[in-house]
Each structure stands twice: as structure tokens, then as C-alpha cells.
């Protein structure tokens, strides 16, 4: 019952959080001194043409009224049309969302695959040379600028060695669309050529995105393991003669992962929004490139749509982490 109460309370908080997000983002987007009517009308439009278009599209109305219309439309899933392309923004975001999610999932899998084992090794071999090297690497992973790393990986793997594609999500266009996730769609349609292409294209951007996240996970795992490894139950299990590997990888890790899981949830949100830079360098046709284009074109409505979507993802991921916590650590129910 307590768990349901917590979930319901979190869900209720979603409403004011989302409303606050929309209002704040809407006003910030309208602070930028751009004239949307002029952007739509084009560079060569006369003042009369711009004024006619402004009235037609409602940009001459007070900002509060425009906000009311926007919220009303948003409630029905209508985010308006891009000022620049005239395409429905919700359609554009929905079309690009699988690309960004696929990249983010791949990155988080790599980050977990690297971060947790290395974190455990670092803790177990505390203050050894291995630990020192891993700690330096984790600090470097956090410090390296992702655009620089992306270009270096491109130079080495694509240009010099010719092992991976330079950019894009796949050569040409993707497999027959079912979910929009190329790896999944390739498997569902058993299109092995597309699967190979999708994995190969995914590799460099996912690694670029994953490394800082892996460094964070490594540090949290190390700290968690160090905290647990000196517990009485570990001493007891050791005294009972249980193998060292079993104690570390099963019992210690399980108890040490509580804070890491919270971090993974937060990292997912950071990776999702952080994909902007990586997508731009690798020409990955996801939400990041959409955001970059929208910013360069001062397409306020598209920026608004992107920001709200990222905000919603953050909120939902936090909600899921909160719920997961109640399962991993039942003490939070008290």
C-alpha cells in the first residue's frame, strides 16, 4: 500500500511540474528577439506581407493568450508547426525520438558494461596501480570534451583505419520501419545487412557518449563497494569460507549498487539531452541534430517542443528511479 501511495504522490506531482516546465520554457523561448512571422515569410517579404502573416498565425496576440492556446494544443498532442519547415513539431520529434533513444540505450549499456566491473576492480584493488590507473581514466573520461573525442575517434577508426563509417545512422536509408529503432527493426525483419550497418554506425557515437557516463558509474560503484566491503556480513561470509569472487560479485555488488542505480537513472537523462553534441558531430538524425538546427534557425516553437520533451523524459526517468528504489531498498517505504 505504501508503495502505491508513493507512486500516486509522485504522479500527482507530475502535473504541476509539467505545467511549470511548459510556462517557464514558453516565456524563455519568447524572450529571444526574433520575429516568427518574418522567419516564415522569408527574407524578401514586405512589411505588409509579414503583418498579414502575423495576424493569420496569431503572433499579434498577447503572450498570455498565445500561452493559453499553446497549452490547449499541447494537451491534445499538438505542438504546432515548425516556423522554418512548417512540419508538425510533434511528428518531427516522434520521428527522431527512436534514433536518440537507440543511441542513448546503446551508450548506457556500454557505460554500465564498462563502469560497474571496472568500479568493482578499482575498489577491490584499492590503492594499487590498477586502481590509480582506473581513477585517472575515470577523471579523464569526465574531463574530455565529447566533440573532441568524437572527432578523434572519427579520425582513427573511420579515416585512418577505415573500420567504421564516418557518420550517419546507416548507409542510405534504414530498414522497413516498424519501431523506428534500426537494430530492432533489422532483427524483426531479419535484415542482416541493415543490422550490420546499424551496429557499425552506432559504435562510435555510442562509445563517445558512453565514456563520461562510464566514468561516473565507475566512481559510484567503487565508492559503493568500498562502503560495503568492510561490513560485518562480508567478514562473516569470508569466515564461512565462501569464495572471494562470489562474495564480491554477488553479495557486495548487490548492496553497493543502490546509489549506482540512482546515478544510472540520472545519467540516462543527461545522456539523452547530452546527445546534442554527439549527434551533431556524427550527423545522427535524432533529437540532438533537430535541436541544433532549430537553435541555428531560431525556430522558437521547435526549440520549445524539444525542451519540453527532454524535460518530460527527465521527469519520467526520475519517477521510474523513485519507483525502482522502493524495490531495491525497501527501507525507503518506511
Please enumerate in sequence order all residues whose Cβ is within 8 A of that of 191, keeping only pairs 6 or more positions apart, or say none.
175, 176, 185
Determine the Cα–Cα distance for residues 25 and 19; give it in Å rounded to an integer: 10
Q: Taking CB under 8 A as the criterion, which residues in 80-139 touch another protein?
A: 82, 84-87, 92, 95-96, 99, 113-114, 117
Q: Which residue in 29, 39, 120, 310 binds another protein (CB under 8 A)? A: 39
DSSP state of 214: H
Number of residues that bind another protein (CB under 8 A): 74
Residue 66 C-beta: closest distance to another protein, Å:
17
Q: What are the DSSP calls for 86-108, one per residue?
A: --BHHHHHHHHHHHHHHHHHHHH
Q: Which residue in 111, 211, 281, 321 binds another protein (CB under 8 A)? A: 281
Residue 202 C-beta: closest distance to another protein, Å:
9
174 with 181: CB under 8 angstroms? Answer: no
Residue 44 C-beta: closest distance to another protein, Å:
4
Determine the Cα–Cα distance for residues 264 and 262; give it in Å rounded to an integer: 5
Nearer residue to another protein within complex by CB, 138 or 318: 138
Handedness of CA 282, 285, 291, 295 (dihedral sign): positive
Nearer residue to another protein within complex by CB, 18 or 187: 187
Q: Taking CB under 8 A as the criterion, which residues in 216-255 touch another protein?
A: none
Q: Which residue in 285, 315, 319, 328 binds another protein (CB under 8 A)? A: 285
Nearer residue to another protein within complex by CB, 144 or 285: 285
Closest CA to 313 of 275, 258, 261, 278: 275
Of 7-15, 20-28, 167-175, 221-229, the segment contacting another protein by CB under 8 A is 167-175
305 Cα distance to chain centroid: 16
Q: What are the DSSP calls for 198-237, one per residue?
A: HHHHHHHHHHHHHHHHHHHHHHHHHHHHHHHHTSHHHHHH
Please enumerate in sequence order all residues whose Cβ is within 8 A of that of 135, keeping only pairs 6 or more positions apart, or say none.
122
284 Cα distance to chain centroid: 14
Of 65-73, 231-239, 265-273, 295-303, the segment contacting another protein by CB under 8 A is 295-303
Residue 40 C-beta: closest distance to another protein, Å:
7
Of 69-77, 155-163, 223-231, 312-320, the segment contacting another protein by CB under 8 A is 155-163
Q: How many residues does the chain have?
A: 334
Q: Which residue in 46, 76, 127, 232 binds another protein (CB under 8 A)? A: 46
Nearer residue to another protein within complex by CB, 5 or 60: 60
SS3 183: helix
Of 28-36, 69-77, 130-138, 237-245, the segment contacting another protein by CB under 8 A is 28-36
Determine the Cα–Cα distance for residues 276 and 103; give it in Å rounded to an integer: 11
Q: Which residue in 9, 171, 179, 238 binds another protein (CB under 8 A)? A: 171
Q: What are the DSSP calls for 279-292, one per residue?
A: HHHHT-TTHHHHHH
Q: Which residue in 31, 43, 77, 241 binds another protein (CB under 8 A)? A: 43
SS3 240: coil
Residue 288 C-beta: closest distance to another protein, Å:
10
Interface pattern 184-223 for another protein (x via CB under 8 A): --------xxxxxx-xxx-x---x----------------
Amino acid at each position: 500500500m505504501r508503495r502505491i501511495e508513493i507512486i500516486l504522490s509522485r504522479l500527482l506531482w507530475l502535473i504541476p511540474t509539467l505545467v511549470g516546465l511548459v510556462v517557464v520554457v514558453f516565456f524563455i523561448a519568447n524572450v529571444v528577439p526574433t520575429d516568427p512571422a518574418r522567419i516564415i515569410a522569408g527574407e524578401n517579404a514586405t512589411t505588409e506581407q509579414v503583418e498579414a502573416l502575423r495576424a493569420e498565425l496569431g503572433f499579434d496576440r498577447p503572450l498570455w493568450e498565445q500561452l493559453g492556446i499553446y497549452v490547449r494544443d499541447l494537451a491534445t498532442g499538438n505542438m504546432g508547426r515548425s516556423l522554418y519547415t512548417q512540419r508538425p513539431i510533434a511528428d518531427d520529434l516522434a520521428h527522431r525520438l527512436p534514433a536518440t533513444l537507440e543511441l542513448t540505450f546503446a551508450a548506457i549499456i556500454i557505460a554500465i558494461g564498462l563502469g560497474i566491473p571496472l568500479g568493482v576492480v578499482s575498489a577491490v584493488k584499492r590503492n594499487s596501480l590498477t586502481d590509480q590507473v582506473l581513477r585517472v581514466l575515470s577523471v579523464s573520461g569526465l574531463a574530455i570534451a565529447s566533440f573532441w573525442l568524437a572527432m578523434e575517434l572519427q579520425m582513427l577508426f573511420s579515416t585512418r583505419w577505415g573500420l567504421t563509417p564516418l557518420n550517419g545512422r546507416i548507409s542510405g536509408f534504414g530498414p522497413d520501419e516498424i519501431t523506428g529503432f534500426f537494430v530492432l527493426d533489422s532483427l524483426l525483419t531479419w535484415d542482416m545487412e541493415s543490422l550490420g550497418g546499424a551496429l557499425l554506425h552506432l559504435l562510435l557515437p555510442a562509445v563517445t557518449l558512453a565514456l563520461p557516463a562510464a566514468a561516473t558509474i565507475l566512481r559510484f560503484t567503487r565508492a559503493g563497494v568500498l562502503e560495503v566491503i568492510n561490513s560485518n556480513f562480508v567478514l562473516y561470509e569470508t569466515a564461512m569460507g565462501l569464495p572471494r569472487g562470489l562474495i564480491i560479485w554477488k553479495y557486495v555488488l548487490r548492496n553497493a549498487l543502490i546509489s549506482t542505480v540512482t546515478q544510472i537513472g540520472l545519467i540516462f537523462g543527461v545522456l539523452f539531452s547530452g546527445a546534442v553534441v554527439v549527434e551533431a558531430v556524427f550527423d545522427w538524425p535524432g533529437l540532438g541534430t533537430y535541436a541544433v538546427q532549430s537553435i541555428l534557425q531560431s525556430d522558437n516553437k521547435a526549440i520549445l517542443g524539444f525542451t519540453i520533451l527532454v524535460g518530460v523524459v527527465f521527469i519520467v526517468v526520475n519517477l521510474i528511479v523513485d519507483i525502482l528504489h522502493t524495490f531495491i531498498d525497501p527501507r525507503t517505504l518506511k
